[in-house]
């Protein structure tokens, strides 16, 4: 089906690369208008070219999701350009490594500021615009590690678990106002964030093998694998889908 997101207006945080970049590209391809909100200029080459060639369909707004005013401004940019907001995808995230007895307070706060508070800010400022528009869809990218634990990722697991249940709260809070909220829980996906984890270890290839070994299907996902889930959840096909946690993980959580 083409134009599954016709007449939708979306704000995608963390949209410069990885899952966010792929989601932005697919949303535009399916007919949506998109604000790409990120701290960095798009490093996804196809997306960067699309922003230059189609400014009437996709725009970049520099945004640090830990700063409420910048998230508010990204949402306002969508309303200013296209009159409404109907969809958001919270993709901004940081990995962060360390056990529960090794993490510093500053590192814990840094990870939660991006992974959890950033989701809160986007919801806080986008949902009122969705209500004005007659309804909308919130999609928050959590993680398989937001459902199960993992050694060495205490704050990451905690922050992604927070996204999981915060999303359900949003779903119940605003269901009667036509706003749906769902979370996606990726498995091992080949993104710049994942590559950064590999490169930060003494033996990147061994770390890659250890991560890949978690995948029952024998291979890692791509950003597009997750982005198609975002397209579905934002589309009218998902009008009866609310408060769901959707694993797109190659079977990781089925173990």
Q: What's the pLDDT score for residue 39?
A: 96
Q: What's the pLDDT score for residue 15?
A: 96
In a domain, 32, yes or no: yes
In a domain, 158, yes or no: yes
Please identify every stretch of the chain with a pLDDT value under 70, giving residue numbers as ranges.
Answer: 1
What would the pLDDT profile of 14-59 be if each residue is shown by its tens digit?
999 999 999 999 999 999 999 999 999 998 899 999 999 999 999 9
Q: How far apart, in whole angstroms, are the C-alpha atoms of residue 157 and residue 108?
A: 11
Note down the domain range covering 48: 9-190+222-248
In a domain, 208, yes or no: no
Query: Looking at the 3D structure of the chain, how many domains does it have?
Result: 1
In a domain, 214, yes or no: no
Q: Which residues are catalytic?
A: 156
Task: State the CATH number of the domain containing residue 120.
Answer: 3.40.50.720
Q: Angle at Cα 123 formed by Cα 60 and Cα 130, nearest 5°? A: 85
In a domain, 195, yes or no: no
In a domain, 211, yes or no: no
**How are the residues of the chain apportioned to helix, strand and coil, as percentages rounded to the nearest 5?**
50, 15, 35
In a domain, 85, yes or no: yes
In a domain, 3, yes or no: no
Sign (positive or negative) of CA dihedral 77, 62, 111, 147: positive
Q: What's the pLDDT score for residue 72?
A: 98
Q: What's the pLDDT score for residue 1?
A: 57
């Amino acid at each position: 089906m083409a134009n599954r997101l016709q007449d939708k207006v979306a704000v995608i945080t963390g949209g410069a690369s990885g899952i966010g970049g792929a989601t932005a590209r697919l949303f535009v391809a399916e007919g949506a208008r998109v604000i790409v909100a990120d701290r960095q200029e798009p490093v996804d080459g196809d997306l960067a070219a699309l922003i230059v060639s189609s400014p009437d369909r996709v725009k970049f707004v520099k945004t640090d999701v830990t700063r409420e005013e910048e998230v508010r401004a990204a949402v306002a940019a969508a309303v200013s350009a296209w009159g409404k907001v109907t969809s958001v995808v919270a993709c901004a995230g940081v990995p962060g490594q360390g056990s529960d007895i090794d993490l510093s307070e500053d590192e814990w706060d840094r990870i939660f500021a991006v992974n959890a508070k950033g989701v809160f800010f986007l919801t806080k400022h986008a949902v009122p615009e969705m209500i004005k528009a007659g309804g909308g869809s919130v999609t928050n990218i959590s993680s398989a590690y937001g459902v199960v634990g993992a050694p060495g990722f205490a704050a990451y697991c905690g922050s992604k678990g927070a996204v999981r249940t915060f999303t359900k709260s949003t779903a119940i809070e605003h269901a009667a106002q036509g706003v749906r909220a769902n979370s996606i829980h990726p498995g091992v996906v080949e993104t710049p964030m994942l590559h950064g984890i590999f490169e930060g270890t003494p033996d990147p290839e061994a770390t890659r093998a250890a991560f890949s070994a978690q995948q029952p299907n024998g291979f890692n996902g791509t950003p597009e694998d997750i982005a198609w889930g975002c397209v579905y959840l934002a589309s009218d096909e998902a009008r009866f889908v609310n408060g769901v946690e959707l694993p797109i993980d190659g079977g990781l959580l089925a173990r």
